Amino acid sequence: FHFDENKKNIIYLRINSLNWLNLLDMDTFSKSDPICVMYVQAVGSQEWREFGRTEVIDNTLNPDFVRKFIMDYLFEERQNLRFDLFDVDSRSSNLSKHDFLGQAFCSLGEVVGSVGSRFEKPLGGIPGKKCGSVILTAEELGNCR
């Protein structure tokens, strides 16, 4: 990633992969059916806005989602991200109808600035449980002019 600190850089960034490892198994007779929901926090706000959802992958504790998220990377601003993971139990789009598997928080800058733009973080959100971890990778798609 190359930035000119003297001008405002907006880079289209693709969160290239969402890999999850060793998720909680919430289903009795099969593995969890995970979906990931990505949220962004507006600068200077406490509010989280849903940015997008991955597809559901059936019967796995180590999903590698196909869906990519493309967003602007603003070098000068901290862009907070939250990834919530759920075990889908029905066709409902209402997340409260599904089992919560954990969540991870990071900034887009942490992902971009990590070695090889590969960032790994343990999942939290369920006290006393090891919820697994997420691996995020990002790539620059080019400047927005």
- Return the CATH number at 89: 2.60.40.150
- The band of 88, judged by pLDDT with boundaries at 50, 70 and 90, is very high
Residue 2 domain-assigned (yes or no): no
Residue 137 domain-assigned (yes or no): yes
Residue 22 domain-assigned (yes or no): yes
Can you tell me the distance from the alpha carbon of 145 to that of 142, in angstroms, rounded to the nearest whole number?
9
> Which residues share a beta bridge with 131?
none
Residue 3 pLDDT > 50: no
**Mean pLDDT, rounded, for 32-37:** 92
**Mean pLDDT, rounded, for 68-80:** 85
Higher pLDDT, 43 or 41: 41
Tell me how many domains the chain contains.
1
Residue 80 domain-assigned (yes or no): yes
pLDDT of residue 29: 82
Residue 100 domain-assigned (yes or no): yes
Residue 15 domain-assigned (yes or no): yes
Residue 129 pLDDT > 50: yes
Instruction: List CB contacts of 135: < 8 A, sequence separation 6 or more.
Output: 17, 18, 19, 20, 21, 118, 119, 120
By residue range, what is the domain housing residue 84?
10-143
Residue 16 domain-assigned (yes or no): yes
